[in-house]
Amino acid sequence: MSGRPWIVEELNRGNYGVMRSSRYGEPRGFLCCEWWCEGYWASSGYYDLCNEKPTIPGRPNSVPSILKGLASPSSFPRNRLLISLWPLIRNTVRNSLNRSSINELPSIPEKASRINVNADVLIVGGGPAGLSVAKELNKLGLKVVLIEGEHYLGGHLIVDDAEVKDLGRGSDFIGKLSKEVSDSVTVLTDTVFDGFLEDAVIGHSRDFSKLYVFNYRYLVLAQGFREVPLVFPGNGTPRMMTGLTILKLIKWWGFKPRRVLVWGSDDWGVRVAMNLAQLGIETYLGDNSVIVRSDLYRSKVESLGIKTFIGMNIVDAKDSGDGLRLILKNVRGRKAKVRRREEIAVDVLVSAVRVPVIDLPAQLGAPIVYAPEIGGLVPRRGFTGDLGLGNVYVVGDAGGLLPESLIIKQARITALSIGSREGLVPSDVLDKELAEFKRDLVTTNSSYYNVILRFEQGLQGAGYYAEPNVAHAPMWAAAGSVEDVENALKSANRQYLCFCEDVTLDDVLKAVRVLMHGREIKVRVLHGEEEEYKSLRLPSMERIKRVVGLGTGPCQGKFCLVSTNLILSFIYQKKPNEIGLPRIRFPEAPIPMATLAGGE
């Protein structure tokens, strides 16, 4: 990424609707500039969206609102009128989808080469966790290769100029660590780890000139978290972006928003807000939690004059042209006597709601379990990060959200564990440090400790119901009471879950209804019905996917699968593991034919 991205000009001119959606052709609300967002852009024909010269499909179509009901993912396959007209309309339908034509696709280098990469340990992800593991392993004398999807190292800390607990200024800390690692370890930036085939583990460079074949003895997955789109009525309207994206847009490229609402008040959410406030931007912080979630940074919110909307939900949103008008209401519950309603207008709504990146462990078949205390759905693993697959570890937020200072300690444990298996670290050293790490966890993050202890004891968390006020679930799943859920369901057709295929919550609920064959599943379960309700088996996400196409777009469900699972579990009071996730398939990010063909 060399020059100033095209979108910054557009945003500064007040044009936030830089993308059209694939099916309806509406201006699409969510914007993110991370490497893993490429699939989402491509769903409606955009490429290199955050570069100087993005590919933008010519003349987008849009479905007139009168036909939107017919075109929706849930009614399209079953509508009798559409079925009878199908031979007449299929070409219109096909041509109305917003895609790039094949000639518009960005060019691919003439030659692609296949490169074998050999390492003792391959680390996927160059954020604080991956870098720390790399540093520790390098000290042990192991041959380490680290790959990172972005063109820079450091992950989210690179744009974080706030004080990070125990580490100093985030950007300073990570800058030093990045330099130290890249001076001593083989680092491949702008490189995507695609995943696991039977005869090879491969990746590709983001300029598509290289196809990597990785050979390693240990694999460390350190992909961190993703900030996912918020789910609320009207979330299709423009002006939503991730915390990482807004900080990059402002600090690197001169985007100038005036008023911003940051949603999500855990450590990262608060630090995003702190960064924005320090830049002189009028900053609000919202969350549906009872208090600001972050213990570490709670006090900073007030001292920086950040106005808070805590204990509230976004119940409506409308882009008024000069800003996004949001209506917020407090989460009622049964006991809330005071009803609070706020209306605010902001330039940008920031999603700082984090979801651990579970794609690669899931691709490998590691059990993904529900652990609300550490971020929702996470791969099951032990204190060392061992996934129990032989030679694969997960470290950092990808294995459950944890403050950075502890992630760095955890990374050291992972490195020592590998070192000990290699005979480079005496086992008593590992044991001693592991005990210290556990002590640290018990005294600072006891719930995290308990979760991992449960995992190690084989109690996977599968028995847990989705909780109404979990630390890091998408906002929807924290709606509060049955009443809140029922209210939220009324506007289900304005709450988008899957941004690639324009799937709303309403579409998903309809799919559930079809799959249940009309058997009603109620939000409000009366006394005496509990037993029957508990034995009711909900359709799996895999089957829901096959009815409404949720997660079948080119982003492969990176935006929607975890959120949808947690939302459905919460609505229907089912265990997240019961609903499950669809199979996560290879590759992690789409690979051009030419790169594969050339890389032989």
Partner 1 sequence: MMSEGRGLISLTADAVVVGAGIVGLAVAYYLARRGFSVVVLEKNYVGSGSSTRNAGRYRVHFGNRENTEFAIRAIRKLESLSGELGWNGIFERQGYLWLVRRKEVLENYEKLNEQLWKPMGVPVQILTVEELRDRFPYINTQGIVGAVYGPQDGAFHHDYLVMGYYERALDLGVRVYEYSEVKGVGVEDGKVANVSSSNVFVKTKNVVFAAGAWTSEVMKNTLNIDIPIKPVRREIGITEPVKPIINTYIIDTETNLYLGQTMRGEILGSIELEGEEGFLPYGNTLTWLTAWAREAVKLVPSLRKIRIMRIWSGYYEMTPDHSHVMGRLSTWPEGVYVLSGFSGHGFMFGPYAAELLANYMANGVIDPIMKPFLPDRFITGNLIKELLVI
Q: Which residues bind partner 1 (CB under 8 A)?
A: 22, 39, 42-43, 45, 76-80, 82-84, 86, 90, 93-95, 97, 99-103, 105-108, 197-200, 202, 213, 514, 517, 540, 542-543, 546-547, 554, 556, 583, 585-587, 590-594, 596-597, 599-600
Eight-class DSSP state of 425: S
> Shortest distance, CB of residue 469 to partner 1, whole angstroms?
32
What tokens were used for 127? 């954020």
CB within 8 A of 236, min separation 6: which ones?
21, 26, 28, 29, 494, 496
Q: What is the rounded CA–CA span in Å between residue 129 and residue 272?
A: 19
> Is the Cα dihedral 406, 408, 409, 414 positive or negative?
positive
> Shortest distance, CB of residue 438 to partner 1, whole angstroms?
37
Nearer to partner 1, 66 or 593 (CB): 593
CB within 8 A of 273, min separation 6: which ones?
262, 283, 284, 285, 301, 304, 306, 352
Nearer to partner 1, 182 or 540 (CB): 540
Nearer to partner 1, 400 or 587 (CB): 587
Q: Compute the C-alpha angle 6/12/13, nearest 5°.
A: 95
Nearer to partner 1, 206 or 409 (CB): 206
> Shortest distance, CB of residue 585 to partner 1, whole angstroms?
5
Nearer to partner 1, 86 or 184 (CB): 86
CB within 8 A of 213, min separation 6: which ones?
114, 115, 116, 117, 200, 201, 202
> Shortest distance, CB of residue 147 to partner 1, whole angstroms?
17
Instruction: Tell which residue, 341, 347, 350, has the closest CA to residue 312.
Output: 341
- Residue type at 81 in one-letter notation: L
Q: Beta partners for 408?
A: none
Nearer to partner 1, 13 or 517 (CB): 517
Q: Beta partners for 31?
A: 241
Strand positions, DSSP E, 288-438: 307-310, 312-319, 324-330, 341-346, 348-351, 354-356, 368-371, 376-379, 392-394
> Shortest distance, CB of residue 81 to partner 1, whole angstroms?
11
> Shortest distance, CB of residue 241 to partner 1, whole angstroms?
23
What tokens were used for 534? 């508990």
Nearer to partner 1, 43 or 289 (CB): 43
Nearer to partner 1, 76 or 152 (CB): 76
- Tokens 């074949």 locate to 213
> Shortest distance, CB of residue 71 to partner 1, whole angstroms?
12
- Residue type at 474 in one-letter notation: P
Buried b (16+ CB within 10 A) or exposed e, 391-423: ebbbbbbbbbbbbbbbbbbbbbbbbbbbbbbbe
Buried b (16+ CB within 10 A) or exposed e, 481-503: ebebbebbeebbbbbbbbbbbbb
> Shortest distance, CB of residue 53 to partner 1, whole angstroms?
16
Q: Beta partners for 468?
A: none
> Shortest distance, CB of residue 491 to partner 1, whole angstroms?
27
Nearer to partner 1, 65 or 95 (CB): 95
> Shortest distance, CB of residue 113 to partner 1, whole angstroms?
13
Nearer to partner 1, 1 or 514 (CB): 514
Element at 125 (helix H, strand E): none
